[in-house]
Each structure stands twice: as C-alpha cells, then as structure tokens.
Structure 1
Amino acid sequence: MSVARRLLCLAALLPQPALAQDLASGEAIRAAIVGNTVRGSMVASGGFTEYYAPDGAIRGPDYSGEWSIKGNRMCFGYDGNPSSCWAVRVNGRNVIWVGAGGDEGTGTILPGNPNNY
C-alpha cells in the first residue's frame, strides 16, 4: 500500500468536524431546549444541570445566567461575563454542543423544569 493511500486511510479514522447540515437551526434549538432542562457535561467545565426559561434566564442548582440564540448558535452568559456561543446538534432528547474544536459537550433534554430551579 502506498504512503498516500495509508495516510488517506488514517485520515478517514480521525474525528471529522461537524457538517453544517448536521447542526440545528436557531428555530430547532429553540423548539428543543427552551422551556426545558439539559443535564450533561462539558469538556472544559464538567457536569451541569440547567433550566432554560423562555424569558432568557438560565437556572442551575446554585447559580444563574442568561441564554440567547444568535443565528444558528446558542449563547450562554454567567456572572456578568460575555456570552460564549455554540452550534448545536439535537437528536431526540440528546444534545451535543459544538465549538471550534468540535464536540465539546453533551447532554440530555429533560422536559420542563423537574428540579424547580
């Protein structure tokens, strides 16, 4: 097998960036997440459980923040810090937060606000 062919085979095994058609639209993000809770984990910060209120508030177990949807990205701000925005993949109750480095978090969408945050 030639070196070029080996490299091509190895490249096929590497994680691929999310394709635009895999990502949710702003409308699909809003329909799936707003008014619901997401329980999951981010690579950079660990586990979380957050309720995304229709008024733009984020409510967690001992903190709060603000969410917004800008284009086809969901943005989050906490403690007065600037918002960080993520592309989103939604598949049923599963959500994947996609950043510049690829998949950077996952979660499960829970209906409503079961923890009364």
Structure 2
Amino acid sequence: MIMRKFCLAAAVAMMAIGTANAAPATGDAIKAAIGGNSVQGNMDSSGPYAEFYQADGVIKGKDYAGKWTIEGDTMCFEYDGTPKDCWSVEISGDQVKWLKDGKSGGSGTIVPGNPNNF
C-alpha cells in the first residue's frame, strides 16, 4: 500500500513538472504544427472556436476569414475590423495553449487539415 501511494505521488509530481516546464514554442515550431491544419478549442474571452489556418496565411472559420502570420516566436491574427493580435503558443502533442503576457487566454486541439471544410 505504501509503495502504491509512493508511485501515485511520483506520477502526479512528474505531470506537474512537465506542465510547469512547458515553454512557448518557437515561430518555426508554431508554423510547422499549425500551418495547413485546424485548431478547435475555447478562448477565455470569447468562447468556443474552430479555425483552419491555410499554409498561405489565410484563416478560415465558419462564415468569416482572416489572416495569420508568425512574428518572432508569436502567432498573430488579423480579422476584419480588428487590430493585429499576437500570442505566444505552448504546443504539447496536438494540444495548444494561447498565452498573452505569460498568462493563458485559451486552449485548443490541433486537427489535421480542414475537417470542417471552411
């Protein structure tokens, strides 16, 4: 029983260390992971989203479009009528976390291609 508790505690500690050490991705890593794919998730300020990020920098969503660029180690978004907004991105497998000023502003899952046919 003591060994089982120790193993469980060690596993929880390893998961916490892995999360604590997550660092924002480089611009090249962001482009490689997201370009040509979709991300579906939830933003803290605006709720659920699903977007396809064409490799040529066009964003397609349901009934709207925009533009994405990589600037340094951030991903920037431009939509009609809104100023450019840049975010750092943590990437772990198919999971992304959007960071602004070091704080999480949302998350999502990378989905290959354009499954929503935007």
Instruction: State the TM-score, normalizing by the size of structure 1.
Output: 0.80
Q: Which structure dedicates a bigger proportion of its chain to helix?
A: 2
Q: 1:77 to 1:32 in 2, by over 3 A?
A: same
Q: Which residue of 1 aligns with 2:56?
A: 55
- The separation in 2 between residues aligned to 1:90 and 1:108, in whole angstroms, is 10
Moved over 2 A (4+): 18-21
Gaps of 5+ in 2: 1-18
Secondary structure, in 3 states, of the residue corresponding to 1:31?
helix
Residue 114 of structure 2 corresponds to residue 104 of structure 1: no
Residue equivalent to 1:38? 39
Q: CA deviation at 1:106?
A: 0.2
The amino acid across from 2:106 in the alignment is G
RMSD, aligned CA: 1.8
* Correspondence for 1:27: 28
The total of aligned residue pairs comes to 100
- The Cα of 1:96 is off from its aligned counterpart by 0.3
| Shift, 1:59, TM fit | 0.2
